[in-house]
């Protein structure tokens, strides 16, 4: 039985503009289970920020319901809604720290609003500074902190209210790659050790790969695909998901390559097959060469996942032997129709039904 902590049921959000009505979200249905690190990914303008603001009712949906821990939040009075919001914290792209307060003062701020005694709030803030590895910067003001340090203060502030859920709205977009990795490592530690549910809004596939166990792809205000990260990565069903998970593939597979080659396969390697010399052994066993068109290796949390596009032998019988070898070795593959665009063909394992 699932333990759903956040549920969006038929959520639609419309905005009135001078040019007419704009639909930012359309019939969103999403269930996030307790303890998940749930990523919501989409390109700019897809509706990600509106969606995250709808989860904590900073934006009221035009239609549909938002539930938190089984309680319907939509339609609640402000006082009752705020009681539930205390269990939902948020981390922002631009940190949103109070410039006139030092680090420990920023962390104490939400506890002061909640009426926590001053001494208790300060002790809690000191404890949280240790969690984010900033105990030596307790009295530094935001102007004296680096971007990564500011985000660590923001994370400590988010933890101050002892939340069940933390919403991360593009929390690493303003950071350099090295700092991003350290922040994602900290967030993952918080998720695993404290059991806090994370909802991660991002346009960066690397964030999903390093932090999340589940993902939903949003496009034009609609959830077009969702599931476990490894499943969506290895077998994306929609063009939108394929473009997000394999953004450089279109550049690697030029129009000239697509029209000049036949018998193309896309291979997917899991943890068991990623480090095996599959292609070398296939050439040795079948006696036929292959042409390598594209390949890369990714880490999804602690698991290595690889993908490769190859061109099989022009000889039909030899090509069938090559495919038989891949099946024997447990390598998932998909045949790519001749002249097709990289993102248009179904990236499913052999024999599976495709839903576009």
Angstrom distance (rounded) from CA 56 to CA 34 = 16
Domains of the chain in start order, with CATH, are 4-238 (3.40.50.300), 246-336 (3.30.70.260)
Angle (CA) 136-137-138 rounded to 5° is 100
Q: Check residue 341 and give its pLDDT.
A: 55
226: left (phi over 0), alpha (psi -120 to 50) or beta: beta
pTM over 0.75: yes
Q: Check residue 354 and give its pLDDT.
A: 35
Q: Check residue 340 and give its pLDDT.
A: 58
**308 beta partners:** 267, 295
Q: What is the pLDDT of residues 40-74, one digit of tens each?
A: 998 888 899 899 999 999 999 999 999 999 999 99
Q: Which residues of the chain have pLDDT under 50?
A: 1, 250-260, 345-356
SS3 54: helix
Q: Check residue 150 and give its pLDDT.
A: 94
> Which residues, other chains included, contact 202 with Cβ-Cβ below 8 Å and sequence gap of 6+?
39, 40, 41, 48, 168, 170, 172, 173, 208
Q: Check residue 98 and give its pLDDT.
A: 93
Angstrom distance (rounded) from CA 356 to CA 345 = 10
Q: Check residue 302 and give its pLDDT.
A: 65
């Amino acid at each position: 039985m699932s333990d759903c902590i956040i549920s969006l049921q038929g959520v639609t959000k419309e905005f009135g503009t001078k040019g007419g009505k704009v639909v930012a979200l359309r019939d969103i249905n999403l269930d996030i289970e307790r303890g998940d690190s749930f990523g919501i990914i989409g390109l700019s303008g897809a509706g990600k920020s509106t969606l995250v603001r709808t989860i904590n009712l900073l934006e009221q949906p035009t239609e549909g319901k938002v539930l938190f821990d089984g309680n319907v939040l939509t339609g609640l009075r402000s006082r009752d809604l705020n009681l539930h919001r205390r269990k939902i914290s948020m981390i922002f792209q631009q940190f949103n720290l109070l410039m006139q307060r030092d680090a420990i003062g920023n962390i104490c701020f939400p506890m002061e609003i909640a009426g926590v005694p001053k001494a208790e709030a300060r002790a809690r803030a000191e404890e949280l500074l240790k969690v984010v590895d900033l105990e030596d910067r307790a009295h530094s003001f935001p102007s004296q902190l680096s971007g990564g340090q500011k985000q660590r203060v923001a994370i400590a502030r988010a933890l101050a209210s002892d939340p069940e859920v933390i919403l991360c709205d593009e929390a690493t977009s303003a950071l350099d790659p090295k700092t991003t990795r350290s922040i994602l490592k900290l967030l993952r530690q918080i998720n695993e050790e404290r059991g806090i549910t994370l909802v991660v809004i991002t346009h960066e596939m690397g964030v999903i790969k390093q932090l999340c166990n589940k993902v939903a792809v949003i496009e034009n205000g609609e959830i077009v695909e969702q599931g476990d990260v490894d499943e969506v990565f290895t077998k994306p069903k929609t063009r939108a998901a394929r473009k997000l998970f394999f953004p450089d593939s279109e550049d690697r597979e030029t129009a000239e390559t697509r029209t000049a080659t036949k018998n193309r396969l896309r291979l997917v390697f899991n943890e068991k097959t990623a480090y095996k010399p599959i292609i070398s052994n296939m050439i040795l066993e079948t006696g036929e060469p292959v042409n390598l068109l594209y390949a890369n290796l990714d880490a999804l949390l602690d698991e290595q996942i690889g993908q490769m596009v190859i061109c099989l032998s022009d000889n039909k019988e030899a090509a069938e032997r090559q495919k038989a070898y891949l099946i024997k070795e447990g390598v998932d593959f998909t045949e790519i129709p001749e002249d097709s665009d990289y993102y248009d063909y179904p990236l499913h394992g052999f024999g599976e039904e495709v839903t576009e």
